[in-house]
Amino acid sequence: MKRRPPSLVVRLTVSIGAVITAVLLTFGWMMERSINNHFVQQDVDELNSVVQALQYLLATVPAVVAHI
């Protein structure tokens, strides 16, 4: 017996489902990357602030010690 091909409704449903799944996965991946980059940038900014504070402290400590 010869099998009938899937109906048009089944083929369209599967195709649309696959496209929607691909779009949502791509969107989720893009959002995850964006959020990750955001937090990496915040970490870099915070570390730069610490470096600047330490550089200022190290630049002023010898002057303070010299006056004692």
Low-confidence stretches of the chain (pLDDT beneath 50): none
Question: pTM of this prediction?
Answer: 0.67
pLDDT of res. 8: 94
Backbone φ, ψ for residue 67 (5° rounding):
-85, -5
Q: Find the helix or strand (DSSP H, E) in which 6 lies.
A: none
pLDDT of res. 22: 98
How many Cα atoms sit within 13 Å of 31 on the Cβ side? 6
pLDDT of res. 64: 63
Length of the chain: 68
